Amino acid sequence: MLAVAILLLLSYAADSGRAGADALLQAGRYQESALAYIALLRNAPDDPDLLEGAGRSLIGLAAPERAIPFFEREIALRPLSHDGSRWLSEAFIAAGKFEAARQLLARMVVADPADGGTWSQLGLVSYRTGYYPAALNAFDHALTAGKGLETASTRNRVEVLRAISLVETGATADAASVVPGLLARPENTANLDLLLIYVRLLYETGSHAEALRQSDRALAVAPGNAAVHFWRARLFQENDEIARAVSEAERSRDLAPSSPAPRSLLVRLYRKSGRDEDAGREAGWLREHESADGRAQP
């Protein structure tokens, strides 16, 4: 029955033309629009608009790997297409092909340095791969470019990622001047990444009481997040509240059992509490983890 339905849909798509496929895409009916565009491409394999529609439909279906060839073919047919390149970069990012995305976006910002949207995408690639100085540079360009960040939500997203990059690059003074203002915005009050980076910033600058208060906010937003409990454990340790630190570190370990960070902290906390057997158990796990990592190296 499914095969018959697909054949009927393909027949319908061929009859209804690109207007029908476009309508399906706009309505978010991605599976149907993908089939419709692919059916139309059988008779017009070099139509760049149909190629782009097929690729966009596949991105909507969370199938970026399958979308990439359609966008690549589109760009080969019209190499100056900004939309095609932008969609291809999104497909690369969604597929985890960050270096390919970086190279493409780097070419795009050279071609149009005033496009803040492309700069923000380039910053996102660097951010996701841990190259925070490059991310910071790209986000700065995005915020001062002449176009591409017209909506307040888009600009806010870039400003949040820029603030996190400031902390990651050690620019604590600059970060301290912008993070509180960002957290005061209604759209950011429940932004866990921003809350946690503020906790970290306050911790690293010795403002432990305020860091603990901000960790309360983070806990209210995400009580089941391992990183929240880890930072609370470190803060309670700084306050010499060892029992509470142990409780938070154990909660972090239980929520993220494969992470070595809470276990490493627990080794120190257990020893300070006189719980040598528990400390030995966590230390043994860490040794086994390190050995396994070593065996996995090429």
List the domain range (segments joined by +) for residue 37: 30-96
Which CATH number covers residue 267? Answer: 1.25.40.10
Residue 152 lies in a domain: no
Residue 82 lies in a domain: yes
pLDDT in tens, 17-45: 788 999 999 999 999 999 999 999 999 99
Cα gap 139→121, rounded to integer Å:
9
233-240 long-range contacts (CB < 8 A, ≥24 apart) are 233/262, 233/265, 233/269, 234/203, 234/265, 235/199, 235/203, 235/208, 235/211, 236/212, 237/265, 237/268, 237/269, 238/203, 238/208, 239/208, 239/212
Residue 48 lies in a domain: yes
Q: Which pLDDT score, from 0 to 100, does residue 298 have?
A: 38
pLDDT in tens, 264-274: 999 999 999 99
Total domains in the chain come to: 2
**Single pTM value for the model:** 0.81
